[in-house]
């Protein structure tokens, strides 16, 4: 019995000593502050943008420039050399009507948004980078 008790006491003592040694080593190390990430820049970034009736396997399906009223139009974009965030800004007759915010997690990123468009007119979708620079756009008509 005394033998087991001695082993437990020795283990606790060693653990306490190691904990104190680690704490003093951390206290001696200079504190480092994490450097905030620089805001993403759209310099050199581009976007290939297409309007379509759908998206399958990350590719546009039935691309077009004219769609019937009541169609759900998908805006597909392939964004290159931009990380952080992107926006799809949907416009009707040059006036912004809706914005979709997207995260961009790599140098080559595919994303899409969609809208059911009932009103005839000229539409466009601008793809903006994190700094709101236009990376690409697509135009189409709803008849």
CA dihedral 124, 128, 133, 139 (to 10 degrees): -20
Alpha-carbon gap, residue 143 to 136, rounded angstroms: 24
| Confidence (pLDDT) at 43 | 73
| Confidence (pLDDT) at 1 | 53
| Confidence (pLDDT) at 6 | 58
Alpha-carbon gap, residue 141 to 64, rounded angstroms: 9
Contact (Cβ atoms closer than 8 angstroms) between residue 113 and residue 100: yes
Look at the block and give the residue holding tokens 């399958």.
56
Q: Using DSSP bridges, classify how beta strands 66-67 and 134-142 pair: parallel, antiparallel or unpaired.
A: parallel
Domain spanning 46-142: which superfamily?
Answer: abc- transporter (atp binding component) like domain (2.70.50.60)
Question: Collapsing DSSP states into helix, strand and coil, what is residue 60?
Answer: strand
Instruction: For residue 100, give both structure tokens.
Output: 């979709």
Helix (H) or strand (E) holding 45: none
Instruction: For residue 82, give both structure tokens.
Output: 């931009």
Contact (Cβ atoms closer than 8 angstroms) between residue 47 and residue 5: no
Residues of the chain with confidence (pLDDT) below 70: 1-42
Instruction: For residue 55, give both structure tokens.
Output: 């998206």
| Confidence (pLDDT) at 13 | 55
Q: How far is CA 106 from CA 66, 82, 103, 138, in A?
A: 32, 7, 9, 22
């Amino acid at each position: 019995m005394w033998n087991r008790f001695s082993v437990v006491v020795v283990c606790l003592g060693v653990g306490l000593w190691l904990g104190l040694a680690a704490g003093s080593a951390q206290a001696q190390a200079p504190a480092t502050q994490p450097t905030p990430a620089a805001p993403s820049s759209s310099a050199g970034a581009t976007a290939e943008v297409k309007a379509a009736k759908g998206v399958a396997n990350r590719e546009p399906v039935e691309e077009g420039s004219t769609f019937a009223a009541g169609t759900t139009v998908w805006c597909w974009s392939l964004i290159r050399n931009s990380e952080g965030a992107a926006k799809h800004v949907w416009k009707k007759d040059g006036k912004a009507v809706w914005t979709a915010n997207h995260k961009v997690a790599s140098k080559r990123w595919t994303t899409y948004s969609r809208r059911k468009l009932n009103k005839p007119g000229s539409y466009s979708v601008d793809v903006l980078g994190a700094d709101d620079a236009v990376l690409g756009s697509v135009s189409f008509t709803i008849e």
